[in-house]
Structures are given as structure tokens and as C-alpha cells.
Structure 1
Amino acid sequence: MPVVVVLAAGRGTRFNADRTKLLALLRGKPVVAHAIDCARRSHLPLKIVLANDAPRTLIDAVSILVEARDIVWNANSALGVTHSIACGLAAAPDAANWIVLPGDMPNVQPDDVRAVLRALDEPDVLAARPTHAGEPGYPVGLSRRLGIDWSGSVASAGPLLLKALAHARRIADCSPGVVQDVDTVADLNGLAR
């Protein structure tokens, strides 16, 4: 079965110095809760990647939203998003495919996830990503056929992931949510309208 990997290990310092953008309220709930809800409404299991040094408030909020076994701790989140992706994938090595969904993208829809999964069903597609109005977005789908060797270090998967993403199949006409993220307070305010 495919697994959704929600990324929540970033610093988010463009939003605020407290690293709490994922807890900012949008339509009555934290931004990260929308990404988790998308995974659940897609009827797929999920893993959520948190930094080992995540703010306690974020850890507490995520712990209420998901089971402890679904939290993946990234001790090296400072190494960047590729490392967080690799940590999430390594936590579900037997997944049929992986759907990588940033936790700061509250408007992604389950139909977007399903479109990415359909693209991964094609035998020659190793990675897929949605687009809206020609702009590439998220979630990104990664195929098990990438052949990632999980016996090595998590970091060793990075170059393979980057290559796959560079050649991802683009899926046209997905929802606007695939290109709407919350990097700044202005982004949040724009989505709240």
C-alpha cells in the first residue's frame, strides 16, 4: 500500500523565529492538521517527519493528531528537505509507493494525491508531481521502482531522490492547493481569504 510522508521538520523561519508556522491556525485548525487530514481522506497510512529539536508545542500538537508509531524523528533536519524525505521513506520501506506532502500545504486535496498515484501506476514512471496552471507543485509521488537501498545510510538516497524529482512526470490540471504553501504570514493571510 502507498504511504503519505508528511514533512514537518523544516525550520519555517521565514514565517517566524519561533518555528511555529505549522501551528498557525487556518480555518480553525493548525496548518499541519490540514496536510494530515488530506492523507487520512486519501485513505492511506501516513508517516510525519519531525526534527529532533522541533518546538515542544509542535511535538505536542502532532502527538494528538497521529499515533506515536507514525512520527519519524529526523536528527539531521538541518541537512535539508531531501534528508527529511529520505527519513520518511526509510520509515516505510515496504510501501508500494510514497506520496511526499509538505506539512505547510493545507489546500492539497485527496484527488491530487490520487492523480499522483495513478501516474505512478504507469510502469515507466518513477516519480510524479502535480501542476496547476503549469506550475509544478506537491505532493510528489515516488515509486518503489526507484530501487532505493535502505541498507545504507539515509543520506545515500539523496542523489537518487533528486534525480527522480528532476525527471518527474507532470500531472496537469490539479487543484490550486498543489502550489499553495505557507512560507510567510502573508501566505497564511492569503489562504485565509
Structure 2
Amino acid sequence: MRIGCLILASGQGKRFGSNKLLADLCGRPLLAHTLDCLPSGVFAKTLVVTRWPQVAQLCAARGVACLLHDREDRSDVIRLGIRYMEGMDGCLVCQGDQPLCRPASLAALAQAFERQPECIHRLAWQGVGASPVLFGAAHFSALASLPPKTGGSAVLKRFPRQIRLTEAQSPCELWDADTPQALERIARALQSPPLP
């Protein structure tokens, strides 16, 4: 089964105050940490979708495919990315500012999808679903035709009975860096000893 990975890295950083994807996190850009979360050998394709030329340069330096665009609407960004996933059986949709996901958790999400490819699989903590989300190819058309100003959550609302949850190993895996304070919390978690 072939699974792709789509990383959304197009946010304008209004709440953060700057381009958070390139913000320093323990000596490296935030997005570099997110890319390092991807488990080896699990994804047949990986694509970063961004409006930022500096992000595209970071991806090029790491050998990661990147689509640079000038779209404003989130639905357009997802539409652009999901087209790249043609031929995949499923696609994991990740946020570029979620750098604490563990490779083992993302691999477990992919394994859950392989067992139930007709379902939508979400990483969760204590039974509450969050991002990343793994959509099967049957949902690609819905992702490609999202209403304006909506994201993948619109598909989740359309198909609630098809959602399955995979528990993360730690709640911090679901944290994102929407503000400088959130990034500081993530940095503290990175510098703390790993949980057993």
C-alpha cells in the first residue's frame, strides 16, 4: 500500500508575528524538526506546500519535494497538494508547525490505515482526535473540492463515522507553534528527558 505525506507550510504566521516555520527551535528551523518526525520508509511520496521561498530553499537543501505557490485560501493549498498524491492509496496531512510528533506514532497511524484503508485516521490523545490526519484515496476528491476558507476538518465533519483514532505516545505530539509562547513550550519539551 502506497501512502503519501502532505505537509502544509503556507501559514502567514499572523498569530506568531513572523514566519514560524523558519523560527529557531533548539538551533534549527521549526520545519526541519517536523520533517525529521517522518518515519523512514513509510511514505512513498512527501510534499511540502508553501508560499515561502525560504521554506522551499530549506526543502531543496534536504532533498524534499516542495510546491511553491501564491494562493491565499487554505482550500486551494490542500487542492494543490492532493493533486500531487495521485496514485497513492492514502495521504497523511501534517501541519508544518507540529515538530513533536514521534516517528513511531506516525508509523502506527499508517499501520492503522493499512488495516482499514476505507477510514480516516487521526492521531489522538486520550480519545480526542487531532492532527495529523491520514485520508484514504476515496476522500481525495472531497479534499480537492473543499469550500473556500475550509481545510481538512470539513471532510472530517462530512464523514464522522469513518474516523478512527490512533493514540499518540505523549500529549505534546499534538502541540503546534501558533504563538511564540507555544514555541517556547515545545522547546522546553524537546530539551526535557524523553518519557519512558
In the superposition, the TM-score normalised over structure 2's length comes to 0.79
Q: What 5-or-longer segments of structure 1 have no aligned partner?
A: none
Matched, 1:187 2:188: no
1:71 aligned onto 2:94: no
The sequence identity of aligned pairs, in percent, is 24
Secondary structure class of the residue paired with 1:60:
helix
Whole-angstrom CA distance in 2 between matches of 1:108 and 1:173: 8
Partner of 1:58: 55
Higher alpha-carbon deviation: 160-169 or 87-96: 160-169
Matched, 1:26 2:19: no
Structure 2 SS opposite 1:138? strand
1:95 Cα deviation after fit: 1.2
Out of 106, 116, 119, the residue aligned to residue 109 of structure 2 is: 116
| 1:120-169 superposed Cα distances (whole Å, 9 cap, x missing partner) | 224474311011134322210000133628xxxx8525589545423222
Partner of residue 145, structure 2:
156
For 2:156, the equivalent position in structure 1 comes to 165
Contact 2:93 2:134 in 1 (8 A): yes
1:89 counterpart SS class: helix
1:3 aligns with 2:7: no
> Do 2:82 and 2:144's aligned partners in 1 also have CA atoms closer than 8 Å?
no
Q: In structure 1, what residue type is equivalent to 2:178?
A: D
The CA distance in 2 between the partners of 1:31 and 1:124, in whole Å, is: 31
CA contact (8 A) 1:129 1:140 kept: yes
C-alpha separation between the residues in 2 aligned to 1:103 and 1:89? 16
Q: TM-score, normalising length from structure 1?
A: 0.80
Residues 135, 79 of structure 1: CA spacing in aligned structure 2 closer, same or farther, 3 A cutoff? same
What's the counterpart of residue 85 of structure 1? 78
What is the alpha-carbon distance in structure 2 between the residues aligned to residue 41 and residue 160 of structure 1?
Answer: 27
- C-alpha RMSD of matched pairs (Å): 2.6
Distance 2:154 2:9 in 1: 23
Q: 1:15: which partner in 2?
A: 16
Listed as ranges, the gaps of 5+ residues in structure 2 are 189-196
After the TM superposition, list the runs of 4 or more consecutive aligned residues in structure 1 that deviate by more than 6 angstroms.
none
Q: Which residue of 2 aligns with 1:141?
A: 134
- Is contact 2:117–2:136 with CA below 8 Å preserved after alignment? no
Using the alignment, how far apart are the partners of 1:122 and 1:157 within structure 2? 27
- Please, which moves more after superposition, 30-39 or 164-173? 164-173
What secondary structure, in the 3-state scheme, does the structure 2 residue paired with 1:137 have?
strand
